[in-house]
Chain A
């Protein structure tokens, strides 16, 4: 499928294009944070009590927090952690999920299929936040452990998704044909079945990015994620919450930042779904 045709289908959704644009801006901002933010040094241990708790103004777009750090700068740096979390979790959880889903869906050995899927079910049965809490609490709370904890409970979703696509495809005639021709099992899995999973998997990844970021922010909110003085978005929301409603800017802007990035991922998801849809007139 040609790239330009894919883009054509994607761009039929103006909202998806908007989402993509916003996301690109956020990513670029996060990557080049030290160069584009007005006070990059505020993203770490910095205090300036003379300029603390200032409302939004021309010198500090989003105001300053209780110790005098520029909120705008910290929000942009905060995106770094959120995006890093999303990328790492997806990279760690998607490949094993896909692999297990393919195997469980295609194998003729029912026992293998049952084992894989029941393990998946077990992981899925535990509420995500609880599991992440438990793991992070056992280990010391920091971003790294948070990423590992979330990855550990994320792979089952992909396993299940790929499993359902695989089981529906394995009886398709083109798969039978490859089998009857004599192609090896691994070849069939990777070249015949996997390419047909790409669409749903990619769409799910974009939607999941939003969930992962929320989960990360939630963990940080309760103190199990990004530790101060690092500017995690969830941590910032927690700190600022104590100052509501008078000094609202310390919570509201980080919260809006979270909403913005999740929204843009979700909007992209719609466009992706259309891009992979089969055409019919």
Chain B
């Protein structure tokens, strides 16, 4: 498996948060690569640092209390972390966008959808140097963006306020906003977790279609393995601020190597009715005083003494499949 031309490369990212009790050492050397036109999944449970990761890429981490203590985020050859404040907005307008989990808080409640969408379109056009686009033109663009996401009756939606829409519709609006311009990278943080199953299904399909059509790369962040299985080319499994395993999606589900991945797959309830496992023993670590070495070792049934000492590097499981686990040292 060759990763196409890398679009985004996160290298050895370390992020800490300063709190009353001390420092939360959340990200502990995060590595991630997304290629052009690739659909990549980032799977991890609550508190593993996924949201901190996207916020670092978008440079919206509140610094202080956050501190980026090491690492690089290379986007199209340039390190985002080293960019000046003035360069960041154009990055956000034209190159990357994000969809977050709760569409209600992502939309401004006191403006209509039309006002918000048109504003965003106008800004991104300006960014591309196209200043003099007429209002009517912008409005029709907004309407066509909405109908692309499967929204019935876009004209009515443009005149509505966010609270008048259902969760599914709001999320579709957020998707339209995110794909307003041909961004190269879309980061979606649990985009459908709060929505009903049938709506989730519809929205994820649409998102998939839109992304394929435009050749946008997408980083889909979720804790749902089912979603990732059907919508991504490659997956990263994250735990407590580190990547534990990464592989092509199909390969990962067929041959999960890392004990954490295996544990996760076992805990998903199966439609076959075979029962649910008792979960992975232990709890997610306390970031104030995280485990040394491999952060998963306190919960791992295969833990060896070397696991406590140093964080394992990535070992190859063949064909782009990488595991950060000493069990695969050969």
Chain A residues close to B by CB (< 8 Å): 5, 8-9, 279, 281
Q: Which residues of B contact A281 (CB under 8 A)?
A: 17, 19, 24, 65
The CA of A279 and the CA of B65, in the complex, are separated in Å by: 12
The CA of A8 and the CA of B18, in the complex, are separated in Å by: 12
Question: By the criterion CB–CB under 8 Å, are B20 and A8 in contact?
Answer: yes
The CA of A5 and the CA of B24, in the complex, are separated in Å by: 16
Shortest CB-to-CB span from B168 to chain A, Å, is 24
Q: Which residues of A contact B65 (CB under 8 A)?
A: 281
Question: By the criterion CB–CB under 8 Å, are B17 and A9 in contact?
Answer: no
Shortest CB-to-CB span from A3 to chain B, Å, is 12
Shortest CB-to-CB span from B104 to chain A, Å, is 16
Residues B8-53 near A (CB distance < 8 A) = 17, 19-20, 24
Q: Which residues of A contact B17 (CB under 8 A)?
A: 281
Q: Which residues of B contact A279 (CB under 8 A)?
A: 19
Question: By the criterion CB–CB under 8 Å, are A9 and B20 in contact?
Answer: yes
Chain B residues close to A by CB (< 8 Å): 17, 19-20, 24, 65
Most buried by A among B19, B20, B24, B65: B20
The CA of A5 and the CA of B21, in the complex, are separated in Å by: 9
Q: Which residues of B contact A9 (CB under 8 A)?
A: 20
The CA of A8 and the CA of B20, in the complex, are separated in Å by: 7
The CA of A9 and the CA of B19, in the complex, are separated in Å by: 10
Shortest CB-to-CB span from A280 to chain B, Å, is 11
Shortest CB-to-CB span from B28 to chain A, Å, is 16
Interface of B is mostly: strand
Shortest CB-to-CB span from B67 to chain A, Å, is 13
Q: Which residues of A contact B24 (CB under 8 A)?
A: 281
Residue on A with the closest CB to B24? Answer: A281
Extra pairs beyond A281-B17, A281-B24 (6, CB < 8 Å):
A5-B20, A8-B20, A9-B20, A279-B19, A281-B19, A281-B65
The CA of A272 and the CA of B20, in the complex, are separated in Å by: 16
Task: List 8 A-B pairs, Cβ < 8 Å.
Answer: A5-B20, A8-B20, A9-B20, A279-B19, A281-B17, A281-B19, A281-B24, A281-B65
Residue on A with the closest CB to B62? Answer: A281
Shortest CB-to-CB span from B68 to chain A, Å, is 15
Shortest CB-to-CB span from A277 to chain B, Å, is 13
Shortest CB-to-CB span from B217 to chain A, Å, is 28
Residue on A with the closest CB to B52? Answer: A281
Shortest CB-to-CB span from A276 to chain B, Å, is 15
Shortest CB-to-CB span from B212 to chain A, Å, is 35
Residue on A with the closest CB to B51? Answer: A281
Shortest CB-to-CB span from A274 to chain B, Å, is 12
The CA of A5 and the CA of B17, in the complex, are separated in Å by: 16
Q: Which residues of B contact A5 (CB under 8 A)?
A: 20
Q: Which residues of B contact A8 (CB under 8 A)?
A: 20
The CA of A102 and the CA of B19, in the complex, are separated in Å by: 35
The CA of A229 and the CA of B65, in the complex, are separated in Å by: 54
Most buried by B among A5, A8, A279, A281: A281
Q: Which residues of A contact B19 (CB under 8 A)?
A: 279, 281
Residue on B with the closest CB to A5? Answer: B20
Q: Which residues of A contact B20 (CB under 8 A)?
A: 5, 8-9
The CA of A9 and the CA of B17, in the complex, are separated in Å by: 15
Residue on B with the closest CB to A9? Answer: B20
Residue on B with the closest CB to A8? Answer: B20
The CA of A125 and the CA of B17, in the complex, are separated in Å by: 48
Residue on A with the closest CB to B287? Answer: A281
The CA of A5 and the CA of B19, in the complex, are separated in Å by: 10
Residue on B with the closest CB to A7? Answer: B20
The CA of A8 and the CA of B65, in the complex, are separated in Å by: 13
The CA of A29 and the CA of B35, in the complex, are separated in Å by: 68
Shortest CB-to-CB span from B16 to chain A, Å, is 11
CB-based closest 8 A-B pairs: A8-B20, A5-B20, A281-B17, A281-B24, A9-B20, A281-B19, A279-B19, A281-B65
